Amino acid sequence: MLRVNEIHTYYGLSHILFGVSLEVRPGEIVCLLGRNGAGKSTTMRSIMGLTPPRKGTIHFKEIPCKGKKPHLLARMGIGYVPDDRRVFADLTVDENLEISERNVDKNGWTRDRVYDFFPPLREIHSRRAGFLSGGEQQMLTIGRALMTNPELLLLDEPTEGLAPLIVKGLAEQIVRLKESGLTVLLAEQNQTVALEISDRGYVIDNGSIRYHGTVVDLRENEEIRRKYLCV
């Protein structure tokens, strides 16, 4: 579904990603693990066209993504949940979901379906998003991405700053998304959660992929985890 091949991404003159390559197959949860500043968010932004790579290629369902604006990639079927959530603070929960609605059919995501998926949001549907807790904002941000009815969901650090109980519930919901037919690329620092719910994993450090394998392989490879994932 997604193939990233040898991308090099810059912020101005600063070279951030060095030949990053990864693949995500339909129906998988694939995690991208790394410490803070390793290049996870830049990889996600590169895929979404927010920080286009200068070199390399990205294909979504065999369609080249190079040069396409983020809103066009969203229309193609890529949903994006940024690490800083970016809810519309002055709009209600309901309004945040409404403005993202598209491609609705009988099997698609609607506000009611999002509320069924995240019941706490239904109870606060009329509350302004700026007054929500971190966990509530994260549910809303994911719900807003689901309202675009994506085939691939990019989740950038979804558990960051959340209480352990909220993290556990969110991890369970991500697995449910896979069961509903979504494909997920998950960028995470929390390796415990990521390895628990993913099928395969990539490890990134200093803008380069250092390891790729199944989560079983990654759990058993203490050297890689100690070298690239320990704080």
Confidence of residue 166 (pLDDT cuts 50, 70, 90): confident
Whole-angstrom distance, CA of residue 87 vs CA of residue 223: 39
- pLDDT at residue 230 above 70? yes
Top CATH class, 1-77+184-231: alpha beta
Residues ≥6 apart with Cβ < 8 Å to 172: none
Locate the domains of the chain by residue range: 1-77+184-231
Q: Quote the pLDDT of residue 231.
A: 53
Beta strands in the chain (DSSP E): 2-11, 14-24, 29-33, 55-60, 63-64, 78-81, 152-156, 183-188, 200-205, 208-214
- Which is it for strands 55-60 and 2-11: parallel, antiparallel or unpaired? antiparallel
- The token duo for 59 is 């294909």
Cα 217 to Cα 34, 88, 192, 223: the distances in Å are 16, 40, 14, 11
Residue 104 has pLDDT above 70, yes or no: no
pLDDT at 103: 64
**Any idea what DSSP says for residue 158?**
T
Residue 14 reports pLDDT greater than 90? yes
CA distance 78 to 84: 18
Task: Please state, rounded to an integer, the average pLDDT across all residues of the chain.
Answer: 93
